[in-house]
Structures are given as structure tokens and as C-alpha cells.
Amino acid sequence: MRPLILLDVDGPLSPWAAPRHAKPAGYVEHPLRLSRWSRKRLRIWLNPAHGPELLALAGTADAELAWATSWEHRANRQVGSAIGLPLLPVVEFPGPQPAWKFGPVGRFAAGRPPAWFDDDFDLFPAARTAFLDRRAGLPTELIPVDAHTGLPDEHFGHLQAWLSGL
């Protein structure tokens, strides 16, 4: 089965917790419109090098990239295109999420080894443990990302090493 590389937007691709005056190196500010009915704009930072790097790693390992973000399908329209990613499959998070993303991600990744970039794995430790227990015997890599820095080069090295070990 093809491995998955799961991407969150807020934190990994957009370092939302970085101070406004200290944009991480390589990131570019993108003003995004929240909806076509709203004039309100959201400003996020994205690193245009991340898209090609992720595509290269996925291609080398024959892995599939997918979104695992509360942005859901908006990630394709507003984030992926800004960093050079094609349309990606999306993990959908229907209804209230009492245990955050673990249930929908588990169903999406059923039987497949995922590497997952996110900044919030510690929000629901019991759900995280249950998720990992259900996946016992199947390679699963949770790669925590600091929302102050986004994805540094070390994370891409970590992903490459994990994919090489499959």
C-alpha cells in the first residue's frame, strides 16, 4: 500500500504562532479571502519551497500527499496552489470533533502507513494513544511541528528517513 503524507495548514505550512515582526526565513505573506461573501481577509505565511519539496519526497517514495486540516477543501484552493501543489485528496472532518482529527484520519489512512505533519498532536493525548494503539503493527509517524517555525529542513529529513525505512 502506498504511504501517505498528511499535511495540516495552520502550524506546519503556515507558522501562525510566529511573531508578526519575525516572519520565518523563506516564508511569503499571502492575504486570503475567507469566503466569496466576506470582505474580511486573513493573512498567512507560506513557504513556496515547501510544495516542490513535498512533491519530490512523495515522488521518490511513491507516497500520496493529502490534506489533514480543518481547512479541508479550501486547502486546495487557497494554500496548495500558492505553494505549487496540485489538487490533493482531503480528509473530511464532519460534525463536532470530540477527539479532534484522529478518527477521520484513521478512517482515511485505513491500512496505509501515514506520516502526518501537525502542530496539535498533544491536544487530546488519550485520543492520540488510542489512534496509535489501533494502528499497532502498521508504520505510523506523527511529526510534531512547532507553530512558531513551521516546517524546517529537519522535518523534511525526518520524513525522508521514515519513508526510506518503509
The CATH number linked to 46 is 3.40.50
Model pLDDT for residues 55-112, shown as the tens digit of each residue: 999 999 999 999 999 999 999 999 999 999 999 999 998 876 656 799 999 999 999 9
Q: What is the pTM of this model?
A: 0.93
Round to the nearest angstrom and report the end-to-end CA distance of the chain: 11
Q: What are phi and psi of 64, to 5 degrees?
A: -105, 130
What residues contact 126, with CB distance under 8 A and at least 6 apart? 99
Full domain range(s) for residue 18: 4-164
What's the structural domain count of the chain?
1
**DSSP 8-state assignment for residue 41:** E
C-alpha cell at 51: 510544495
Strand order in the sheet with 4-7: 64-67, 4-7, 114-118, 141-144
